[in-house]
Structure 1
Amino acid sequence: MPRSRKEQVSLEDTPYYHCVARCVRRAFLCGDDPITVNSYEHRRGWIETRLLFLASAFSIDICAYAVMSNHLHVVLRVDAEKAKSWSTLEVLQRWHTLHKGTMFTQRYVRGENLPNYAVVLAETIAETYRQRLMDISWFMKELNEPIARRANFEDNCTGHFWEGRFKSQALLDEAALMACMAYVDLNPLRASMSKTPEESDFTSVKKRITSAKRKHQPKTLYPFIGNPRKGMPKGLPFKLTDYLELIDMTGRIIRKDKRGSIDASLLPILKRLNISTENWLCIATEFEKRTGSLVGQEHSIDHYCEKNQRQRKPKRQSLQLSA
């Protein structure tokens, strides 16, 4: 029996999660269907636009994403402290970009004079919205439901478009986070949808590369801020240049038309995390296949299981990340 989403998400242990949503029927999210000869390429834009919009409303950052033929990947970071710092007005304003809210919340946002009971009611409702705006399940719901409605309307059909439950993996440490992001960014290359990361349309890595050429980072994605240090700002604990070099070199290795071997372990980002070339290539190509709901180094998973009184399941929980 699968664990409830509440049991799978523990912000005390990690704010980072890898989520995967797949189509339930032989439906195409995007790309060309070889059987019906219909093209659904335009649906990629639906996903990317909606995804980046939700990041502006929720207190959830997007670290990586990739839109594939019949599924999508997204690596998220929940910023609970940010959500808790919002005023009642800001919470309601953010929620109203997604839904109408109630008559009382609408009047509260407009600054109308309300009786005390109405103010209390609006503030109570706002607290419910605050919890939703830092909830991964609500984020995925707000992402998937509009896409399902549009796709069903376009396909002139009814019924489920997505599987009932999206897959969620907790990323417990830096090695797991970096490995998962690389796996997501390299999805189009492994599927032969593109030949290089910069040609991988509707992915986070292409957006980062495009912005890097202009010497800045995309505002819609969680930024890279360099290796861990005292007083560091919020961001991914890696150097952007190191990560992009890693993605480029790994992409060259996994391409079937490329021969030769590259010692990826010499790259600074892998050297710092003590990951060997052999282990890294396994991670980059089989992350989902070899992992379960918890991903991290052995000590990270042991600590998580002990703290949360969960039985350690060696298989499909961790990768041998270290050299």
Structure 2
Amino acid sequence: MELHVSVLMFWKTIPILIAQFLRRPGQVSHPIPVRFVSSRVGGANAFPGGGAGAPARTDLENRLDAIQALLISDLNTMVRALAAVVRNSHKQAPKPTQVPDLDAVLHGVWLGPSDSQTLLRKGNVLAATRDHTWDDQYRGHLPTAKAVHFQATGNVAGLKAMIESQRRAIALVGKARNAAQLIASGMRKVFNQAQKGNRPADETIARHVLDGLPKLSIMEMTEFSFVSGVNAADIWPFVHGEPAKIDYRRVFDLAVFAGCLARGEPTILRWDLVRYYIAHRATPNIRNRRKRALYPNTARVHKAIEWTLARVDHAYNIHTFTGQLVLSGQPGTHKIFRVAPCGA
């Protein structure tokens, strides 16, 4: 019990992941600062699905909508490629073969306020824009190009693996989208209360609102940051304890960097992330018994960082990556990384 109390005092907040009885029911809720940014997307209701008269969506909500729409568009290409391979391999079958379709693949996936067909229409537009602006020598890194290649080679296993990975990415973004909507709704309620004089006029949101967010583990938040390019700490602040003690934001920033690298996008690695990475490689916190005792999430964070570095190794080669960081750790400096062009 003394250990748990010291952890609570050190964090200066009540972590969600500790046992319920340690959260001292009845205590005053901790106000958590959450900044609200109104939408700047052109046109009324840029992503239909919120319903007539619904409040404008925030920039974060619209960004997550766009990310999920693009993921669904790419998933549709993968599903159609798999269906074509299945049909071709069963041309001589006596009975018609059931081929996969997008609705069946997305069955049970938590999308958010917009339905799959709405997201697909928007995603097709975004995918066309992305493909048009993509460098020719890097087009082979696009998921649609990989799906076409697997279709041409009849690689059913590769297509199924891509579809399953894409499905998980869509589900993670869907949970983030619903969390962003709940935060925006909570903030509007806070502002209305402040306007009526029912609460202090500050930009805070009550702890119980954050407790109602769709929950993700540290590993799932890392995966979300990897597939979306959005830092999970922008959506789930303080969910796993005081970030000043365990630097979740940099963990997720590293995952954002690895995700951009894996997708073949040019991405900047800032000097502070370089130092964070080098410190992890030299003296990982998992070796520090005191930190493991004080912060129960140390092992989970270590696993998340190692998972991220494995993705970097797969995309870029970790030894080459490490060798290029020698001069990138000075304050104010950064380095741009990108995987090699296709066929290089």
TM-score (norm 1): 0.25
The structure with more radius of gyration: 2
Greater strand fraction, Structure 1 or Structure 2: 1
TM-score (norm 2): 0.24
Greater helix fraction, Structure 1 or Structure 2: 2
